[in-house]
Structure 1
């Protein structure tokens, strides 16, 4: 794939920003890492709620 055809964006604060590094011709790792961290945190929060509900149901 030719890099000049690649487009990658991230959504933040109601807007979209391009997240490619033209110098090394890659998607910016920091953006991917930040998205992964946000997803992991949300998953952990949901799991904690589920576990609490299961504990309440057992009582």
Structure 2
């Protein structure tokens, strides 16, 4: 599994699942869902996951 958040130990799979099932659309919503805010290094990865999930649901 590819870990994207070192602060909270979040994997790409875990974030993708939350984005899809909870309809999360911003890194802040992801942070809120997992009840924490980290250093912010993973924001670009989270934005890419959100975009990827949106493309998958449109397609």
Q: TM-score, normalised by structure 1?
A: 0.37
Structure number with the higher strand fraction is: 1
Q: Of the two, which has the highest radius of gyration?
A: 1
**What TM-score do you get using the length of structure 2 for normalisation?**
0.37
**Per chain length, whose mean CA-contact separation is higher, i.e. which structure has more relative contact order (CA < 8 Å, sep 6+)?**
2
